[in-house]
Amino acid sequence: MAAKHVRMGEAALSKVDKINSEVLTFTYGAIVTQLIKDYEDIEEVNKQLENMGYNIGLRLIDELIAKSGIGRCADFRETAEVISKIGFKMFLGISPAIVNWNGEYSEFSLLIDENPLTEFVELPEQYRGLHFSNLICGVIRGAMETLQMKIECKFVKDQLRGDDTTELRVILKEIMADEVPVGYGE
Amino acid sequence: MTSTASKKEVAESSFEFLHIELVHYLERRHKQVATEHKDDNDLISLETPYTKLELMGFRVGQRLIERMCRDHPRFNDNLEIIKYICKEVWNELFKKQIDNLRTNHRGIFVLLDNRFRWLLHTSPNSANTEPKEYANYVAFACGILRGVLANLGIESTVKADVTTLPACTFTISIQS
């Protein structure tokens, strides 16, 4: 199963136009700086980053499906593969390792050791509470919500904050039932 | 790390998503702050989304050029710098060159991009008859240009005009 997703991710990556990752890195850095200026409160900055990511996720999922041709996932384990090997691969050129499944296969972690968003970044002491890449959490949540999965996503470890790895925890909360869109009911 | 090290690449759409959301965020934030302060009698100075975008672009441009022309020999004059921007910088950002460059030889340079990538996915707002406001979608690019020039020792102002989508003209005025 894994090999298939690796192939699909690489095929999708080869299909999309690419730019030098530094443009993205610098722009993202400028956004975080701007948010800190706008809100001053680090918790609020984390929230805003997540929210921006959520808005992006809602739109980005269309491109992922269109460019990769991926169909419906059989289970959440396959979903994890798709997030790492296709989603991350296609948009950021990386595929984080999937580790630490829980017993019910409803929670896993992504180990992000090479993150284009955090290149050249060092967090000053007073910003230790900042989840610098929190936008990614929002992207995953937004993208998954479009596919009717309620997800909770958070950084539990972060190299920028002195941890040995960067670990993103993804928790499946609920699979929402198919609902008739507003206006289509009898 | 040498300059021959393979460059890391990301999907261009990742950047486009981020850029569009950035514009939306700043517009939301601006509205929110303006509403919060609408009863204040003293006029607080509000930075517009345009100003913020331009300034953010400026910083990005500065960093970008610093890394781009690390090994580039010294530029002889302004025209050479502008040409470098039209070719190399534009290529780095948009995978293409500027389509047309004009100058009055007195410090004004007009750069035309016939298919400006950050406008490719915008569409005219058909719902209302007023021309859609594109300024915020080109502000970041103006800032990048100004930042690039500043780091090469040229003080300038840059403004962009969108006439027919997705073409965009950037006018660089160099301060003498």
Nearest to A154 by CA among A60, A43, A62, A75: A43
* pTM (two decimals): 0.89
Confidence of residue A1 (pLDDT cuts 50, 70, 90): low
Nearest to A162 by CA among A117, A115, A116, A130: A130
ipTM reported for the complex, 2 dp:
0.91
Q: Chain-wide mean pLDDT for chain A?
A: 91
Query: Which of A20, A31, A63 faces B13 most closely, judged by CB atoms?
Result: A63
- pLDDT at site A96: 95
Residue type, A96: P
**Binary contact (A92, B24; C-beta < 8 A):** no
Residue type, B35: T
Q: Residue A157 pLDDT more than 90?
A: yes
A118 touches chain B (CB under 8 A): no
**Binary contact (B14, A91; C-beta < 8 A):** yes
**Binary contact (A27, B56; C-beta < 8 A):** yes
Q: Coil, strand, or helix at residue B74?
A: coil
- pLDDT at site B125: 57
Token digits for A47?
């929230």
d(CA A63, CA B13): 9
Residue of A nearest to B59 (CA): A30
Confidence of residue A185 (pLDDT cuts 50, 70, 90): low
d(CA B126, CA B122): 12
- pLDDT at site B1: 38
B127 touches chain A (CB under 8 A): no
Taking CB atoms and an 8 Å cutoff, what residues of chain B touch A33? 56, 59
Digit-coded pLDDT (tens) for A85-94 = 999 999 999 9
d(CA B36, CA B26): 15
B148 secondary structure, DSSP code: H
Digit-coded pLDDT (tens) for A32-76 = 999 999 998 999 999 999 999 999 999 999 999 999 988 888 899
CB-CB contact of B144 with B61 (8 Å) = yes
Nearest 5°: phi and psi at B10? -130, 165
B22 touches chain A (CB under 8 A): yes
Taking CB atoms and an 8 Å cutoff, what residues of chain A touch B28? none
Sign for the CA dihedral angle at B14, B20, B24, B26 comes to positive
**Binary contact (A21, B8; C-beta < 8 A):** yes
Residue of A nearest to B28 (CA): A52
Phi-psi sector, B95: left (phi>0), alpha (psi -120 to 50), beta? left
Residue of B nearest to A27 (CA): B60
Domains of chain A: 2-175 (3.30.1380.20)
Binned average pLDDT, 10 residues per bin, chain B of 176 residues: 59 93 93 80 72 95 91 89 94 92 93 90 56 81 96 94 87 90
Query: Which of A48, A60, A116 faces B10 most closely, judged by CB atoms?
Result: A116
Please report, for residues A32, A136, A157, B4, the alpha-carbon distance to residue A128 in angstroms, rounded to integers and kept in the order given: 14, 18, 12, 35
- pLDDT at site B128: 46
B63 touches chain A (CB under 8 A): yes
